[in-house]
Amino acid sequence: MVSFELLIMYLSINRGELLGLVGESGSGKSSLGLSIVRLIPPPGRIVDGEITFRGMNLLKLPEKELRNIRGKHIGMIFQDPLTSLDPLRKIGDQLVETIIVHTRVNEEEAKEIALRALERVGIAPDRFDDYPHQLSGGMRQRVMIAMATMLNPDLLIADEPTTALDVIVQSRIMDLLSDLKKSMKMAILLITHDLALVIERSDRVAVMYAGELCEVGPSEVISQEPLHPYTQLLLESIPDIEKPRTKLVYIPGNPPDMRNPPTGCRFWPRCPKVMDVCKRISPRSLELDDRFVRCHLYNGGLECGK
Ligand SMILES: Nc1ncnc2c1ncn2[C@@H]1O[C@H](COP(=O)(O)OP(=O)(O)OP(=O)(O)O)[C@@H](O)[C@H]1O
Ligand code: SF4
Ligand SMILES: [Mg+2]
């Protein structure tokens, strides 16, 4: 059995706020999103902690109650839209069924809500009776976005919602999310590897490396003055077309195997600022003004664990 640990320092999302969660592929972003709604596939499991939503600890909630929260109060856009839709059923029927399960409306009203939700993401009404395979990948992605947002949840977990889309549709979807955030006061967790998108569109950024959050703070502050060496390197590796031609910066090495991560700071084998203490002791998370950072550079090299 594989066991793993997801070390998350305190992370919160407020109503009407968009929090971008970024990190390299395999850093555990989707696992964090799935943990919130307790959908971590076995043998993964949540060993400790608290997930508070509307004053309830979701980790203690009976499965039946949680099922009512998922889809209604917490909308989810999963990373792979094809596996999230039933290939044997028309998309319209899938939307209508979800609405009826969670609300008291009749079929006709549910159809109206579903059509409005499809329209919001740019899917024409004549696609209502299509099967998922009749739609392009980007259209399926948009159907998933319509499904996740049509009941105006308090929290939306959007895992790579625009990755399969061209830049124009991507921008339209991001405008939709911004609009939902403002008009419905929706809290949005945007999971993506696209740091440039997050800096541009989110209120706060959480940077993840090898199953741990290393820095969390307002997007503007983090983009102007990143503290964690990993965040610094991620930002440096974003190409800037306005700057003179320079060699593209990349982060040498690969993320560790999370079943057997390095001792101490998990980033030390790739960190240009590594110190002796980093190899032995895991840095604890420090609160500095309006952000959190987890790096020995800000502990004054003190040997304090998490
Ligand atoms: N803390 C952890 N310890 C060990 N394994 C983990 C941990 N978190 C996630 N994993 C495993 O690592 C793999 C990648 O995790 P996950 O899919 O969450 O990463 P991701 O950041 O979403 O990657 P991508 O950007 O490619 O979608 C999964 O197989 C998952 O089970
Ligand atoms: S704790 Fe040490 S190795 Fe880790 S990011 Fe900070 S300086 Fe680098
Ligand atoms: Mg993922």
Per-residue model confidence (pLDDT) at position 47: 87
Residue nearest atom 9 in ligand 1 by C-alpha distance: 28
From 55-59, 237-241, 300-304, the region with the lowest mean pLDDT: 300-304
Residue 138: pLDDT band by 50, 70, 90 thresholds? confident
Q: Ligand 2, closest atom to CA 275?
A: 2
| CATH architecture of residue range(s) 18-218 | 3-Layer(aba) Sandwich (3.40)
Using CB distances shorter than 6 Å, the residues near ligand 1 are 4-6, 23, 25-31, 44, 79, 193, 211, 258-259
Residue 306: pLDDT band by 50, 70, 90 thresholds? very low
d(CA 103, CA 167): 35
Residues by chain with Cβ below 5 Å of ion ligand 3: 30, 79
Per the CB < 8 A criterion, the answer to whether 30 and 191 are in contact is yes
Cβ of 295 closer than 6 Å to ligand 2, yes or no, is: yes
Distance 241 CA to ligand 1 centre (A): 31
Per-residue model confidence (pLDDT) at position 304: 43
pLDDT at 300 over 60: no
Cβ of 271 closer than 6 Å to ligand 2, yes or no, is: yes
Average pLDDT over residues 172-189: 90
φ and ψ at residue 74, rounded to 5 degrees: -125, 110
| Residue ranges covered by each domain of the chain | 18-218
Q: What is the pTM assigned to this prediction?
A: 0.90
Rounded mean pLDDT of the chain?
88
The 10s digit of each residue's pLDDT in 64-107 is 999 989 988 999 998 776 677 899 999 999 999 999 999 989 99
Residue 305: pLDDT band by 50, 70, 90 thresholds? very low
CA-nearest of 259, 299, 303 to 281 is 303
Q: What is the DSSP letter of 4?
A: -
Distance 201 CA to ligand 1 centre (A): 24
Question: Residue 38: CA atoms inside 13 Å, Cβ hemisphere, count?
Answer: 21
